[in-house]
Structure 1
């Protein structure tokens, strides 16, 4: 099989919990790029919070906000904010159950409580730099939503309709935290739009992920890998299992496909 494009999640796939990456990960990316394979980051992170790792790995194209904002070589392919009425309802539910909420936009991240220790830990965990209190005038351009400190039975209240599902965050230190995922716009839907734009078949695409927000992406491509450290429920959606992020899982998987030495 000839492969033409590679999609990589960041946290837990490229980056270890301490925000470092295995030297072989960068080596693997450089090897496939030298073969003419396009490389995309595909993350739940906001756009501003992926720039550093993108620059380090020389990657220009990315899917951010779990698919809601997608760039191919500086061209915007997707810009899909959440419905404002949904965002307001999420905030009302969070207030009722005493949850913390982080709203992601291109300009900044907006939080329910800037003094919360739980929120401060989450901000540090994901290296979020631009953070401020929630502003009513910004609720119409929210691209991603995180719910913190939510027990599973409480978290289910955020599933307002059939277009919403919750993805538990698969990162140490983010216990009881969730991404709110749209079935109509997620990493998988963004991957489909990228493939259509570049006229690449899904069978010519590879993806690596570790979290439940990677589910649709892994279902979309021909060669899908769940990291060894992946959320237990993710393995059923991947064609292959590779080693953990700490064991250079991306390198191992691409080696398994015969793309690198």
Structure 2
């Protein structure tokens, strides 16, 4: 049996199934982890308030890596918000506005802000943002909130449209492909792995006593920061190549089953 103090899991494509549902056994698993004194961290490109909303009755028992690492929360307290300089935000937004089919969302500590109102984009935004405002000009909110991430939406092919358009901002900024429709742009030092190392340090836990689960390219650093990384069976091919341990399939409660097997937990 593994000696584990912290378990961290990505949300979409990892802990959640393709219909965005938690595993049925997750509340029972969280109870079992609490009894053993094991902390659970939810790590996602989603907004903090949105992740909390997916955990009814459990939200205060979980720590958070939100906005792909740009915001962390422990014991209900915001630990960090990695604010992007206004000039960098302006440069990225200008590029996005000049790239056909791409639209910016500014993600702040209090709310997310978007300009372009059409059904498909609103549907995707409402999946990942609990606090979301439609505004005339997102740049007006750079001084009104602490903007820590610029999410860029493309309806179906972020990997081949928005991602190449934004790559020139790397390495000065972190440019992360976080889904079929999404690219996230943050400060250069921001990623889920850096956020995990920060939370582990606050908890005085070594990486060797941490399990991590992920499925997509924005999870690479998260898995690298853990002593026990698991790539989901449904992962992006690059993750499958980098991490040999498998976390099962997200549509078959893979995270819950893998944890139970590794820690000898019966639910």
Shorter-chain TM-score tier: 0.7 to 0.9
| Aligned position for 2:69 | 67
1:241 maps onto 2:259 in alignment: no
Q: Secondary structure at the match of 1:241?
A: coil
Q: Distance in 1 between matches of 2:170 and 2:63?
A: 31
| Aligned position for 1:227 | 232
| Aligned position for 1:187 | 192
| Aligned position for 2:8 | 7
What is the RMSD computed on CA atoms of the aligned residues? 2.2
Structure-to-structure mapping, 1:1-261, within 5 angstroms: 1-58=2-59, 59-98=61-100, 99-113=102-116, 115-126=117-128, 128-133=130-135, 134-140=137-143, 141-149=146-154, 150=158, 152=160, 154-159=162-167, 160-170=169-179, 175-261=180-266
- Comparing 217-226 with 150-159, greater Cα deviation is found at 150-159
Q: Distance in 2 between matches of 1:209 and 1:55?
A: 22
CA distance 1:70–1:259, change in 2 (3 Å)? farther
**Gaps (5+ residues) in structure 2?**
none
CA deviation vs aligned residue, 1:176-214 (integer Å, no higher than 9, x gap): 432235441111001111111111110001111222211
Tell me if structure 2 keeps the 8 A contact 1:219–1:237.
Answer: no
CA distance 1:177–1:75, change in 2 (3 Å)? closer
Q: Distance in 1 between matches of 2:188 and 2:225?
A: 13
Q: Distance in 2 between matches of 1:180 and 1:132?
A: 20
TM-score (norm 1): 0.88
CA deviation vs aligned residue, 1:43-91 (integer Å, no higher than 9, x gap): 1111221122233434342111111111111333222112222211111
Q: Distance in 1 between matches of 2:27 and 2:138?
A: 39
Deviation (angstroms), 1:219: 0.4
CA distance 1:87–1:118, change in 2 (3 Å)? farther
Aligned residue pairs, count = 256
Deviation (angstroms), 1:6: 0.9
**Gaps (5+ residues) in structure 1?**
none
TM-score (norm 2): 0.86
Q: Distance in 1 between matches of 2:261 and 2:139?
A: 49
Tell me if structure 1 keeps the 8 A contact 2:159–2:177.
Answer: no
Deviation (angstroms), 1:13: 1.8
